[in-house]
Chains A and B, each alone.
Chain A
Amino acid sequence: MTSNTNHDFSKGTDLAVIVLYLIMVAIGVLCIFMVEYNPSLNWSGTILMAKTNFSKQIYFSIFCAVVAIFILLLDSKVFTAFANISYAAGILLMLATFVLGKNINGSKSWIPIAGGFNLQPAELCKIFTALFLAKFISKPETDFKKLKSHLIAGAAIALPAVLSIMQHEMGLALVYSAFIFAMYREGLPPVILVVLLSFAILVIATLLLEPSVLAIILTAIAGLFIFSMIKKFKKNKNKILLVIGIWGICFGTVRFAVPYIFNHVFECYQSTRIYSMIGKEYDCSQNKKSASSSGEHHGKKPDDYNVKQSKIAIGSGGFWGRGFLKGTQTRGKYVPEQHTDFIFTSLGEAFGFVGTFVFLALYLFFLFRLIRIAERQRSVFSRVYAYSVVGIFFFHIAVNISMTVGLFPVVGIPLPLISYGGSSLLTFTVLLFILLRLDADRQMVLR
């Protein structure tokens, strides 16, 4: 087996994905360079000294390349073998951050390691959770049509998510919802998707409409439903109760759940961001959560400042863009966190609609390629893992770009392979190259 490794390395690995990966990382370095560019700096010097973010990112990517090669050289069985243990270790690490954690930007989710670098266990935990989920579903004794399996899988996903929320990393926690793709693919009933979608619509409607108006609309829908199917319901009284039950749940959501979430679960700034998305103002005095932990987000610019500047940057790009290094929003550092979460703005400003369209097309091609890879796996483990990767990538891309163009509230989620940050780049590299390693052995049945 080991003697064949070199042969397999070149034969089975999906070259298209590797090429796309390299292009993406290169674009990322370029974007970070655009953000940092300042005509008065001596660039050749800074690259060697690793003093600027973009040069650091180059070193990160070299390191990631080493890691990627290392992963490709591993035996695929390693991943199945260590799936459960790595998950347990990941959760332990996350718990450890509560003790060893270092506070960066108001989230206590980093563990300082040597050389001034910091490790974010919640990032790595995505990989471990993906492996664990794949391992769990691929077990012969698991029947993923059963509710029990759904609940176990859900719990395994929810655990790191909840820990992330406790570390004030809302964005990372949300990412765990990306596993719904893999679960859906493996037999999660579509009803759950419909219910989740309805819930989302209901929450948005709650925010948009007056409570009384919404109550009337809900009642009207239920009434119409009963009226139109009155004959069916006569035969089966239980269904009437079901409709009334759903109506009740909806009503409860509107009246109690949504306000509870906004006032007790979300921090004040999070509620404000969501409200500002739909052009409303959130009254922070209602927020019980930040009343207890206030002081963390004080003295900052208004909450829609980020999105406003981000939209200005992207919008000012126009059709062709303002040109490489010519974006004034980028040069003037008007967009906060532009090298990390808002990196897409530098691209949008410099290269315009043409640039962003090509960029999104690349990403779409990349995701579809991953789905194709997922579908060609013989083993359930690899497929579940592949869909987890697709989900995680897609979720990051969709949420990150949506937030920069003002379609989604601001959550701290990096753009995969593009945003500055060693932790993030390493996570995505590892995620991706484990998939490529598994894919190289796609004819094998892994358990």
Chain B
Amino acid sequence: MYNSNRGRIIQIIIGVIFSLIILQLVSLQIFSSKYVLAANNNAIFRKIIYPDRGIIFDRKKRALLENTISYDLVVIPNEAKGVDTATLCSILNIDKEEYSKRMIEVIVKNSRVKSGIFEPFLSTEVYAQITENLYRLPGFSLTERSIRNYPYNTAAHVLGYVAEVDVKFLEKHAEEGYEMGDYAGMTGLEKQYESILMGQRGVKRYLRDNKGKIQGAFEKGQFDTAAIAGRNLYTSMDVEVQQLAEKLLQHKIGSAVAINPKTGSIIAMASSPGYNPNLLTGNQRRKTIGRLLTDTARPIYNRAIKGQYPPGSTFKPMGALIALDEGLITPSFGYNCFGLYTACGDPRKCEHHNAGHAANLQLALANSCNSYFLQVFRMAIDNPKYHNAKLGYLKWKEYVNGFGLGRKLGIDLPSENRASIPDTAQYNKDFGGAKFWNSCYMLTLGIGQDRMTATPLQLANAMAFIANQGYYYTPHFVDSVEEEDETDKEVLAKFRTKQAVTKIPKEYFDIIKEGMYGVTVFGTAAFIKVPGHEFCAKTGTAQNPHGKNHSLFVCFAPKDNPKIAVAVVVENAGFGATWAGPIGGLLMEKYLNDTLTKESKTKVDYLSNVDLMPAAIKDWYIRNNKTEMLTPHNYNNDELSDIWDMEMVSETAPIQPKIDTLSKIDTFQKNKVPPAPIPVPQKNKENALTPSHKKKKHISKQNDI
């Protein structure tokens, strides 16, 4: 047998080739992990199971928002053969072109074999028509989805809205497992408590074939996780008070905040103009969101936590408190005001000139004497204890910050504004150094003007602070969470501990309370009554760079056992007592008595129809063909007086200012109140005068908002 060694060679060749194959198998199966991933990407289809979002309740366990089912019309393009397009188009009110356009969109997004959304959020009529005709629409089907619903049409700013996540959101929350097409809370409580409300999404894994068709559960579902429903939030809000606040503020720009001082829980928070939260859910959203975002009155903007307003006279009780604690004045301290404050050169006006209207602290508060509080402010800044104005100012600022002004309070809503209590640095800059200024230079800080601003929330909180005689709880909505766990307790802990406990003795607070009580008995707010309750209040009429004065009102009630503290701001409306005052009074009445008297109801009807929209905004509506936004009502002051049955307290009767009646000031931003540059004379009001060496600056024509 010759050549038999060639058999051996053939064996070797075979062996070598087999070894090569085995080497390749080693590299593929043992040393490459990417193939398992590739196989899983191919074949495992993860389906997210969305739990129902948690519900938010008010103090009487009424649901401020809940979930309802909405239906989407979905289609599997490959199976959509022999569709009665004419019927479908007429139901959806589209044409054939739009039909094929949408079909192509679905194919591009989800391929031919997977179902894609043809029309989201069907209205009930359309849903009914589609179900009737579904047999004519092969390949089409209806799928449920859970959307928000607001049974009381209220508290839109507070609750916020949910919306589909965008690329930015996904980048920001990369680790939290959101995916394209998910919905998440974008504003308000929905955003703040997203992780609690959202619950835990479940994942189901399916096996998918090469055409994307589902073959069944992957590994019999042993890797699937169940969806856990979102947990509910319990707040101390009162739907009825909230609705009342919104009603009273309609056709006005402004805000109202009511806090329960005993707990810091917010009872109501309204911002006007607002919007009906139901307009931002389902198929309404597309139509509404653009209109809301472009509206010059900014209905989406929550003025209660973002609006910065000069507090005006509502700051006076706090100024007095500082002076009392510093031992600069006693309750019997009086100031001989004859209508002008002249100690700093240029005279500042006071609305009262009858002798003795500021004979003691209570009288000064009740009558809102400007001169008195300017003097008190100067005493605090120029306090000999602190050697110079700068240190005096710093001490004063420390007090004011302690009242919760000029800093974020930490409310459980996103993007709270800290407003402004100016820093000495700003004055150093303005006046060329610390040496060059003294209490006269920022004199009107003492009456809540100059660069001082506060949000309505801060003002309401300051009232809670006074009502509590020296402490407050961080204002918040959520009192408790369903099935509270450790993390939730940590989050809520700061709402359950006393904040800003001050060393100011309680008796000083009593003095201030008496003064504010005086306001409601014989002072600027004497005509406002809360049936069955004594209450404390302070009116404010704040100059601002945007035109007519803001009307402010802060109060708390009952006087001896405060259960509610309220701050109301109505922009460019005029006197504090005229507009903000009655709103505050009605809110307290509603909360404390749970009902309104017949008289009060008449007032509500009237007030809610009063149109105080600034002319500039009305002009904008007309210019932009949005006349439907205009309200037909025009208020009539005489009629109003009849209803109030009172003489209008002339808190701020206009007089002719001595200087430059035409001077106006800059407008910085729409609607927002910028730190007032330098107090500049305006044609009126509480503190019409300013150091003359400053008046030439910042003089320009004020234009629209």
Contacts and interface: CB of A to CB of B under 8 A. Distances in A.
A184 B14 contact: no
Contacts of A309: 42
A326 B219 contact: yes
A348 B219 CA distance: 19
A218 B25 CA distance: 33
A318 B21 contact: no
B36 interface: yes
Contacts of A146: none
A359 to B, nearest CB: 10
Interface in A178-195: 181, 184-187
Given A329-B42, A387-B10, A353 B3 contact: no
Given A39-B216, A315-B34, A390 B25 contact: no
A239 B209 CA distance: 63
A38 B22 CA distance: 31
Given A318-B36, A371-B11, A387-B10, A348 B43 contact: no
Contacts, number: 125
Contacts of A349: 39
Contact of B21 (A331, A334, A360): A360
A352 B215 contact: no
Contacts of A315: 28-29, 32, 34-36, 38-39
Contacts of A371: 7, 10-11, 14
Interface stretch (A99-107, A202-210, A397-405, A411-419): A397-405
Contacts of A374: 7
Interface in B16-48: 17-18, 20-22, 24-26, 28-30, 32, 34-36, 38-40, 42-44
A324 interface: no
Contacts of A317: 29
B4 interface: yes
Contacts of B6: 184-185
A332 B28 contact: no
A404 to B, nearest CB: 10
A364 B7 contact: no
B208 interface: yes
Contacts of B4: 375
Interface string A343-366: 000001100110011001001100
A367 interface: yes
Contacts of A398: 17-18, 21
A195 to B, nearest CB: 16
A316 interface: yes
**Interface of chain A, helix or strand or loop or mixed?**
helix
B42 A334 contact: yes
Given A312-B38, A367-B14, A38 B7 contact: no
A319 interface: yes
A73 B391 CA distance: 119
Contacts of B29: 314-315, 317-319, 348, 352-353, 356
A309 B43 CA distance: 11
Given A332-B210, A375-B4, A318 B30 contact: yes
Given A375-B4, A405-B21, A368 B11 contact: yes
B39 A312 contact: yes
A375 B5 CA distance: 10
A328 B207 CA distance: 7
Interface in A196-231: none
B42 A328 contact: yes
Nearest to B35: A315
A313 interface: yes
B15 interface: yes
A283 B447 CA distance: 84
Given A40-B216, A312-B35, A331 B30 contact: no
A332 B42 contact: yes
A333 interface: yes
Given A312-B38, A313-B39, A332-B42, A184 B24 contact: no
A406 interface: yes
Interface of A: 38-40, 181, 184-187, 309, 311-319, 326-329, 331-334, 348-349, 352-353, 356-357, 360, 363-364, 367-368, 371, 374-375, 387, 390, 394, 398, 401-402, 405-407
Given A312-B42, A328-B39, A348-B25, 13 more contacts: A38-B215, A184-B9, A187-B3, A312-B38, A314-B25, A314-B29, A327-B39, A331-B43, A332-B207, A353-B29, A363-B18, A364-B15, A405-B28
